Amino acid sequence: MAAFFDLDNTLVRGSSLYHFACEMVRKKVIPRREVIRFARQELQYVIRRSEPAGVAASATSRALALVAGRSEDAMQAVATAFVATKLPAMIMDDVLAEVRRFQFHGVPTWIVTASPIELASAIANELGMTGAVGTVSEISAGRYTGRLASPIAHGPDKMQLVSENAERHGLDLGASWAYSDSINDLPLLSCVGMPVVVNPNSQLLAIAKKNAWGVMETAKRVSPRTNLTRFQTPAAV
């Protein structure tokens, strides 16, 4: 068994890639004009909690072009420094509490996201999680080529990568949990035994109720406490 956590708008507020892009501007890794595009998409993503068709692919294409030719070690160093200083302000405390509860009971915890694996791994490491599944860029001689090494970890491809990860580590998805705010993650939510939707929009909430999935509303959204329905604690497994 394991617990899988979507990153954007689930474990952290908003788009992790947007926040990371802002940091790369401050570090003079990428030009400021690129963040304006991310900012527009960030606003829509926060409002809708889902991405229109093609947005993930277009954002990834631009991100790949921006890092092409750059050092893998340098990018990992920027990601690690960014997470160490900025993660506390981004984290969703109620969802982090769920991570901590699983960790207390010895259940492996994984981040699963379309964001770059360098960023996802840095966050997972900072939080003491088991690991991360994210979008992997092709690297040659220690530098990014500007191409993907595997499909974007989004939609059905995210579910496939999680399935492969589970097989590699001997994890039973039927006895596992998945947390996500996005309707794009229906394939992921559907492939585990205990799916939990986080601050769902009306469409995702309707699907969750129809399938008797867990529903989590975080404190900053509706109340000073977490409201989680149909949740079985790891201790009871």
Catalytically active residues are 6, 8
What is d(CA 37, CA 35) in angstroms, rounded to the nearest whole number?
5
What is d(CA 237, CA 233) in angstroms, rounded to the nearest whole number?
7
What is d(CA 104, CA 230) in angstroms, rounded to the nearest whole number?
20
In 3D space, the residue among 105, 99, 92, 106 whose CA is nearest the CA of residue 132 turns out to be 99
7 in Cβ contact with 181 (< 8 Å): no
- Side-chain half-sphere CA neighbours of 83 within 13 A: 20
Helix residue ranges, H only, the chain: 16-26, 32-48, 55-67, 72-90, 93-104, 117-126, 156-169, 186-190, 202-211
50, two tokens:
């889902």
164 in Cβ contact with 188 (< 8 Å): no
φ, ψ dihedrals at 139, nearest 5°: -125, 135
3-state percent breakdown (helix, strand, coil) of the chain, nearest 5: 50, 20, 30
